A and B are shown apart, each in its own frame.
Chain A
Amino acid sequence: MKAKLALLLAAVLGCSLVLSGCWNSRELNELAIVSGIGLDALDGKPGYRVTFQIINPSSSAQTTGSASNQPPIIIVSATDRTIFGALRKASRRATRQLFFAHTQLVLIGESLAQKGITSLFDIFERSHELRLNSAVLVSKGTDAASVLKLLTTLESMPSMGLLKKMQNTSKVWGENRIITVFEVVNGITGESDFTINGVEIVGDAAEGEKKSSLEQSEPMVGSLMSGLGVFKEGRLIGWLNGPESRGTQWVLDKLNETNVNIVSPDMEEDIAVNIFYSKTRVKVDLQDGKPVFHVHISEEGIINETGGFVDLGKEDELQALEKGIADKTAAEVRQAVKAAQDMKTDIFNFGNELKRIHPQDWETVKEDWSGAFAEGELDLKVDAYIRSTGMRLKPYIPAKK
């Protein structure tokens, strides 16, 4: 009797569980995998135009014979007051449900960036699909949608290509670094301001949407990582380029590897030094009510190319070169700090650092930190070391008489 009852109970429970179905189950071919999201401002209206770059799986299918001429991505866009609203509205254009867990890139159009991006990222935190480690980019001089529409060579997925471009350049050149949603959110909530990578289009954007643009060895259009957008209180207020942006990375201790061309004092030729290690220590304190930024950089490099004769066997020559590297670094850092101070924007986390170490001091400058930052003094110290000169000591170039 009891066993029967238990059996009945189990059967009823089992049926009710099984029959009610698989709520979260979604087949892969019901999903549209979004690889990039573009956010643009609407002219004169509040709200966003959200562009989704969707991966087209059949373009890379190997088994079925139809590895067709379809483009690898499809662009869908929608406008709404909220991002979520837009992505639901996009269903009117997309055959499949948009799936965001693999979003590699978030592109912000320049005009939207200038309007302010503070409120953009809540959905990235709140949603379990969108991830905090998607990279964020600002499209420089164009809207986000047109960057997303570009097709790329070498990488079949444009977003992935752009991400790899960013990874690659931040690894070996160092003007940019990967800035993720997570970092941007931390930047918005922190006391300092922040920067976001810029990307610009080189060539005719309209041409880049066509697959034909890929059918030549030198693509007619392409995207280019360019500089860092400076954000103050969530608004894009300017750009740092070249040495300024590299100087910024230096201060932030985000530099992996880069190349410094130095000019030796008594020679006019350029010497290329590959910086392969760099470590920056930052301390901030108040002296007479003014912030002082103690920045100490130690870097190590390898001489990779010399344009003229240098006797690299000699210690004093090497020391001169080391000093050259240090000076060059210091110059770039000063340039970056100067640019930031001119914009009254603390993009170096100095404010956070001061608050963390000296909370009392922070209280005194909290009210007008940007002003205090602009007044601040930079105490910079750079130690550079040459660790190797490559496969040769002396170059084959003869010494000048």
Chain B
Amino acid sequence: MPNETTESRPGEISNSKEQGPPIYLKLEDNIKQICDRLGNSPDLIVRAYESPFQNIRVKTLYINGLIDKELVEEYITHALSFDSLRQGIEPAAEEAFAYAKEKAQNIGKEKIVEDQNSLLEGLLSGDTMILFDGLEKGISVSTSGGEGRSVTEATTQVNIRGPKDSFTESLGTNLSLVRKRIKNPNLWVETLTIGAVTKTDVSIVHIHGLAKEETLQQIRKKLADIHVDSILESGYIEQLIEENNYSPFPTLYNTERPDSVAGNLLEGRIAIFVDGTPFVLILPATFFMFFHTVEDYYQRYDISSIIRILRFICLLVSLFGPAIFVAALNFHQEMIPTPLLINFASQREGVPFPVVIEVLLLEVTFEIIREAGIRMPSQIGQTVSIIGGLVLGQAAVQAGIVSPAMVIVVSLTGISSFATPAFNMALSIRILRFIITFVAAYIGLYGIAIIGLMLVAHLCSLRSLGVPYMSPVAPFASGDQKDIFLRTPLHFMKTRRRLISKDSKVPGTTAQLSRDGRHES
């Protein structure tokens, strides 16, 4: 059952809702109107109740599948039987309304609706509506529920050690998963609705006192500025609020792991939850975040540090691997040790293509196999990769179309790109790899060096909500190096990241978070 502890502050940022036509006095008119507006949809359920009183006619409306049936049943049998009202004389409609509203408080959040638009909106987001004949208002009870995926294991960010739960498509469930981890009143949630048609709930979550106020303000403003019809996934939000649309690098982090969100919130970052998707956005994101996983903190520091270094090596390999190979083979044969060069030369005897064509051929093949494998059901996906990887590679080598060394290089780069924990970062690296390979084929090592310089310059020019993307390496902050390339022991990590969190005090004092946290530039 979704637990409605959400502190919503709609007064601050609400999409200006237009006041619709008021609710009619006559019950039938209302029902007809609603049916019309929903296109006589069969999933609108209208239930009438024989109330014990003649003058009170009540109908409940809900949309099948969006509500928690048990709740509705319970409510109807208990509240609408008007048990305690039955002794006396016939109550006025107002009295019955007040009674029903009071009872509704036991069930969930309730409110009075007075116009048709909010009535419809409520219905569509899973509320149950109670309409009284002769009253120009109705009660909306939050009974949303219905069928949804239960909390399962994470599929995109798998880990060995650590919690196994992952977010689902339900915003309420997702928020509760985080709240279960951070039992602190300072975990604040703001919800707003985005999308003119889809009316998607979007929640901004932060820890008050840790997140920077300016950043929050910026996010609120950016979200309020979104005017689109639909938000079907957090990717929409991501693309609409990121600053550098023309950069291949993602400047927002996304995760489906509650522990990752919790950890980032505790570092002073802000999370954006979107209803209908298990992927939560985290911002501001920095480049190095994409190479960290939460598991780094669960394993011992020495092992985690080595693994992190390995990931950065993999980053270099997957970016520059084929490019360096092409440059060395085509331009700088003098840099290859003699026995290796003879080995390469003998492998390349009879290969009909230039090195760069060979690389591209294999790289593209690899991408095809990968893409085909992803969209397949998992069993077939494996078959695809076996046929693609093993059979094709072996056959291509034996046919003399490509050289064995090239297969090694391309598969190594391919595998290295999977070592990047964040999938969206791995994607952009793959694209860049092609560009760098082209440059290397054009002018060798010099080109690689120059494009490397430009790439670093580009990375340095990015910002994620005002935070330099490459921080804390550039601009360099010596105090923040403990958790970048290495993962130092937990007791060393006494301060939070300066540019990201508002308060870089010792994490142990989080319990006494004050509202007037020190502001740092």
Contact = CB atoms under 8 A, between A and B. Distances in A.
Judged by CB atoms under 8 Å, the answer to whether A and B touch is yes
Interface of A: 17-18, 22, 24-29, 31, 33, 35, 55, 57-64, 99, 101-102, 104, 128-129, 131, 157, 160
Contacts of B444: 24-25
B461 interface: no
Given A58-B346, A160-B339, 5 more contacts: A26-B333, A33-B341, A64-B400, A101-B334, A129-B334
B389 interface: no
Nearest to B338: A102
B346 A102 contact: no
22 contacts: A17-B442, A18-B442, A25-B441, A26-B331, A27-B329, A27-B354, A27-B355, A29-B345, A29-B348, A31-B333, A33-B341, A55-B342, A57-B349, A59-B346, A61-B350, A63-B397, A63-B398, A63-B404, A99-B333, A102-B333, A104-B338, A157-B342
A17, A24, A29, A55 — which one has the most chain B CB atoms within 10 A of its CB?
Answer: A29
Contacts of A55: 342, 345
A66 B333 CA distance: 25
B495 interface: no
A24, A28, A58, A104 — which one has the most chain B CB atoms within 10 A of its CB?
Answer: A28
B351 interface: yes
A64 B400 CA distance: 7
B442 A57 contact: no
Contacts of A27: 329-330, 348, 354-355
Contact of B333 (A17, A28, A35, A63): A28
A63 B347 contact: yes
Contacts of A60: 342-343, 346
Nearest to B339: A160
Interface string B441-458: 111100000000000000
B342, B355, B404, B441 — which one has the most chain A CB atoms within 10 A of its CB?
Answer: B342
A22 B330 contact: yes
Contacts of A26: 330-331, 333
A52 to B, nearest CB: 15
B289 to A, nearest CB: 32
A164 B329 CA distance: 26
B248 to A, nearest CB: 17
Contacts of A28: 329, 333, 341, 344-345, 348, 355
Contacts of B338: 35, 102, 104, 160
A26 B442 CA distance: 11
Contacts of A25: 330-331, 441-442, 444
Contacts of B344: 28
B103 to A, nearest CB: 64
A24 B334 CA distance: 13
A29 B333 contact: no
Contacts of A35: 338
B302 to A, nearest CB: 39
A67 B236 CA distance: 58
A101 B351 contact: no
A261 to B, nearest CB: 37
Interface string B381-406: 00000000000000001101001100
Contacts of B330: 22, 25-27
A27 B350 CA distance: 12
A62 B342 CA distance: 12
Contacts of A24: 331, 443-444
Interface string B486-510: 0000000000000000000000000
Contacts of B333: 26, 28, 31, 33, 99, 101-102
Contacts of A17: 442
Contacts of B348: 27-29, 57
A102 B333 CA distance: 9
Nearest to A128: B334
A61 B347 contact: yes
A133 to B, nearest CB: 12
Contact of A64 (B329, B341, B350, B443): B350
Nearest to A163: B338
A62 B345 contact: no
Nearest to B397: A63
B346 A57 contact: yes
A344 B331 CA distance: 48
Contacts of B343: 60
Interface string B302-336: 00000000000000000000000000011101100
Contacts of B339: 160
Given A22-B441, A26-B330, A63-B347, A102 B341 contact: yes
Nearest to B330: A25
Closest 10 CB pairs of A and B: A101-B334, A57-B345, A57-B346, A61-B346, A25-B330, A58-B349, A102-B338, A28-B348, A60-B346, A28-B345
